[in-house]
Structure 1
Amino acid sequence: MLHVSCVLENPSIVTNNLLQQAAHFLSELIQIPTVAGTATESQAASYLLSIANKIGLNSRVVEPQPGKGSFIAHIPGKSEECLLLLSHLDVAPVDHPHNWKYPPFSGTIADETIWGRGAIDCKGLVVVWLVILNLLNNLKIPLQRSVLMIAAADEESGGNLGTKWLIENIPECQKIQCVLNEGGGYPLVFRHRNFITCQTGEKGQILLQANDSPTKTPLPSSAKIEDLYPPSTRRMFEEILPKLVSKRLLPSGITKLYLKYLQKDAPYHLDLDQLLYHTVNFERDNQSTNLRICTMPGTNSEELATAIIYDNSLDKLEWTEISKVDATESPLNNQLYNYIQISLSKFFSNHKIIPHITPGYSDSRFFRQLGIPTYGFFPLLPDAPLTSQHGDNESLPFVTLRKAIEILFDIVTRFCL
């Protein structure tokens, strides 16, 4: 049994053999083309189960519908309350396979990098969680909190046959205290100061449709609406902006210009419109008018939609709600969030965490809607080339995979010991 202090003091928990094994797992997982909408996640879940059985993990596959299998593994602690390590098995479609350096489902290992669809979103994180559970199991670390891993089906298609179903149907989900998931871990630079994002919330989306004969009144194709900043955005400003500026919380237009200046010459930029505003898009065809709104946390989306409809003189049309996902946000005064910063500082002393509200939504929303603190953090190296999650040439370098395992293992052990 490994002593607790040895675990927390040892940053080199990932041996070269373990790293090679993790890369092999990821390569083989990428070779199972679990494209959204094809109901092939059970193949990937069964592959994970075969690995888990070999390394002695308590695990199983749960399949609410044929092909929609999710992988579940569990390491018990003294308390039944658990930390959930969440990820998903399905991947985005590949629109232009000929643009890829290597075939997108080949799982090619070249140049100390694993290439293929899902390397970052989200099979890389699946493998990180599996390796961490293997480490916890092999090191016989005495846990206070239990650890639960879920590699879910159906995330790219909305999550109803994956995480949402699991929350409603498996008993382990009733004991979840906090969640770590995808959605953050991206390096940013603001005037030579280094930050890494932690996703603490997600914007909401509401889609309304009017099937009546559209009015002849011209519509804006898009719009931005300023509102009160949610706590995560306020904290982000406190970390990035000078104190005198952040305390005044300047109007969005001025803040946007200031942040744009601070990001000048940085390799990667925040989408400031998504960060600072509700975004509104109108679409019109011969049969209908569609209204799509992306809302910040703390906003009543129905009231906002009603105001937009009246402001654009569209209240004579009969509107129907087609879909709605509420915005969500997790608290910043949480032990797990604090450990994310502590562990990051251990490995990158000149980097700070900044909370981030992302424009898209993930399975994290299901837990935040239940009041369970959920944080997106899959750390990518500051010097590693970022690839678009749903774009061409998705890849994960060995050095980033190693560091992600080390940092996330440190967070998990701090929280669960």
Structure 2
Amino acid sequence: MNKADDIQQEALAMLRELVRIDTTNPPGRELAAARYIAGIAEAEGIPFELVETAEGRGNVIVTLKGREPGPPLILLSHLDVVGAKAEEWKHPPFAGEIADGYLWGRGTIDTKQLTAMELMTMLLIARRKLVPRRDIVLIATADEESGSEFGLKSLLKTHGELFRNADVVSEGGGFPIRVNGKTFYLCEVGQKGLCQVKFTYKRVPNANPFYPENAGMRSFAELLRRIAAANWEGEVPKTTERLLAELLAACGQRADGMALDVRIDYLREKVSPLFGRMIKAMTESTIALTMWNGGRSRRELIGEYEATADIRLLPGVSRQEVESRLNALCEGLGIDFEILVCQSGYDSGAEGELYEAIRAAIAVHAEGAKVVPFIATGTSDGRYLREYNSRVFGFSPVLAEDMTFEQAVTMVHGVNERISCDSIGFGTATLHEAVLHYGLGGERHD
């Protein structure tokens, strides 16, 4: 066994232990996983801090001190996972079993694998007694899957300045796609915003039950029709334009003069329908009804109708624009709306030291592959760091030979979540390379 194999096996062993610690959220119970990480840091002589936020819940911070002051490099991940029904899985979701060259279990893609890779990176730097330019800080949090109240949001109240102007490696990217025989690794540099809305019909008493007034039902049917037909186009983010241009160039096509829909359709055929839908969602804000309750019994004179909707906003879309769009949707229907949550999207841009370090690392460990930026259509803890001027890059790389983009995406929160053992080695080596390139001033240290 060579050194690379040893590193892969150690990272794999840590991931297996993390998978075996059931942190299904709710209820979470992430503190056990945080203590496991703290125990490893303590054994290696690396300073750490456990931050307990509720009974059985908490975050862990592990710090490699740098030689210069300034914003740190933060390696962020979360320890909680969504639920899993064991009877639906080929291998038990919390057993950490290895079969067919893969480690099976909840969290192997979202996102305990990133925790293990980041922790292994910290250990390798510490063991070689390398001193980075500035602090490198691993932060593994609780509660990301349920709103982060006991995780990052709580941590920001006590450690918020740690994130000020920091570069952050987080989840959301690192999945490979193949375009015209070429491999591209997606690096998340931004996220769409999240808006949640409740619609309510203005209840009107019906004077005669024998002549029912179904205005509420008709109004919501029309609202559904308007939502389905809604076209919420806006200015396409520069990052999305860059993604389209780079992928089209790989096919010998120029984006100049090609209509947006034509470009998307072309890449849908070249990559996959799923990827085509994802790119389409990167070019516009979207709204989808998520729940609808309403009606009345035969003897009731008043019907009650409510619905909720999920809106994903392009970076730069304001709350005022959302309100204007919702007013137009509800006009003339007797339906009121209430905005429950409205969080702006962000775009860190495909530039800067950390992005260049990620590109350099892929050039070393995935010969011929390129890194391309994208705006995620989902959300993660990165959304809470916008006010701290953090630059968040989602990158947890897996081997292109072992997992397609479609497989990776469908396993997030899905059945039979797994990662190849070789991908743990590849991901750790690539992340370690990127951190060294960034943290040691662009030097490469074999």
Provide TM-score, normalisation by structure 2: 0.84
Q: 2:242 aligns with which of 235, 244, 255?
A: 235
Does residue 275 of structure 2 align to residue 256 of structure 1?
no
Aligned residue number for residue 323 of structure 1: 341
Question: Match of 2:269, as an amino acid?
Answer: Y
Determine helix, strand or coil for the equivalent of 1:196.
Answer: strand
Structure 1 position 175, deviation (Å): 5.6
Q: Which of 214, 218, 233 matches 1:216?
A: 218
Displacement of 1:272 in angstroms is 3.2
Decide whether the 8 Å contact of 2:173 with 2:188 is kept in 1: yes
CA spacing shift, 1:224–1:380, aligned 2, 3 Å:
farther
User: Is the counterpart of residue 334 in structure 1 residue 361 in structure 2?
Assistant: no
Aligned equivalents of 2:350, 2:122: Cα separation in 1: 26
List gaps (5 residues or longer) in structure 2: 203-215, 295-304, 441-446
Name the CA shift for 1:82/1:315 in 2 (closer, same or farther; >3 Å): farther
Deviation at 1:316, TM superposition (A): 4.2
**Aligned partners of 2:165 and 2:391 also within 8 Å:** no
Q: CA deviation at 1:329?
A: 1.2
Letter in 2 for 1:393: N
**Alpha-carbon distance between aligned partners in 2 of 1:110 and 1:165, rounded to the nearest angstrom:** 38
Alignment of 1:132 with 2:121, yes or no, is yes
1:207 alignment partner, SS class = strand
CA contact (8 A) 1:113 1:395 kept: yes
Which residue of 1 is the match for residue 283 of structure 2?
A: 276
CA contact (8 A) 2:8 2:428 kept: no
1:41 CA displacement: 0.5
Deviation, structure 1 residue 312: 5.2
- Checking the alignment, whether the CA contact within 8 Å between 1:166 and 1:173 is kept in structure 2 is no
What CA deviation, in whole Å up to 9, does each residue of 1:23-79 have, x standing for no partner? 111111111110112130011111111122112211121112222211110000112
> Are the aligned partners of 1:227 and 1:277 in contact in 2 as well (CA < 8 Å)?
yes
Cα RMSD, aligned residues only: 2.3
Q: Does the C-alpha gap of structure 1 residues 344 and 174 become closer, same or farther in structure 2, counting only changes over 3 Å? A: closer
SS in 2 for 1:27: helix
Count of residues in correspondence between the two structures:
403
Of 93, 118, 122 in structure 1, the residue corresponding to residue 107 of structure 2 is: 118
Question: Which whole-Å CA distance do the structure 2 matches of 1:285 and 1:268 have between them?
Answer: 33
* In 2: Cα distance, 1:324 partner to 1:203 partner: 11
For residues 181-196 of structure 1, the aligned pairs below 5 Å read 181-196=170-185
Q: What SS does the aligned partner of 1:119 have?
A: coil
CA contact (8 A) 1:39 1:66 kept: no
Do the aligned partners of residues 29 and 199 (structure 1) sit closer, same or farther apart at CA in structure 2, a change above 3 Å counting? same
Distance 2:115 2:357 in 1: 21
Q: Deviations over 1:167-214 (max 9, x none)?
A: 220276156620001100011122222211000111112122132334
Q: Which residue of 2 aligns with 1:7?
A: none
What percentage of aligned pairs have identical amino acids?
Answer: 27
Q: Residues of 1 paired with 2:195 and 2:437: CA distance?
A: 38
Maintained 8 Å contact 1:293/1:305: no
Query: Which has the greater radius of gyration?
Result: 2
Q: Is the 8 A contact 1:177 1:372 kept in 2?
A: yes
Residue aligned with 1:150, SS: strand
406, 412, 415: which one aligns with 2:435:
412
The structure 2 residue matched to 1:50, chosen from 39, 42, 46, is 39
Counterpart secondary structure, 2:53: coil
Mark the CA change 1:48 to 1:255 in structure 2 (over 3 Å): closer, same or farther: same
**TM-score, normalised with respect to structure 1:** 0.90
Aligned partner letter, 1:285: N
Match of 1:288 in 2: 306
> Deviations for 1:317-336, whole angstroms, at most 9, x for unmatched residues?
33211122221111222111
Structure 2 distance, partners of 1:277, 1:180, is 26
Aligned residue type for 2:432: F
Deviation sequence 1:341-378 (CA, Å, 0-9, x none): 11111112221111111111101112233221110000
Counterpart-to-counterpart distance in 2, 1:315 and 1:146: 56
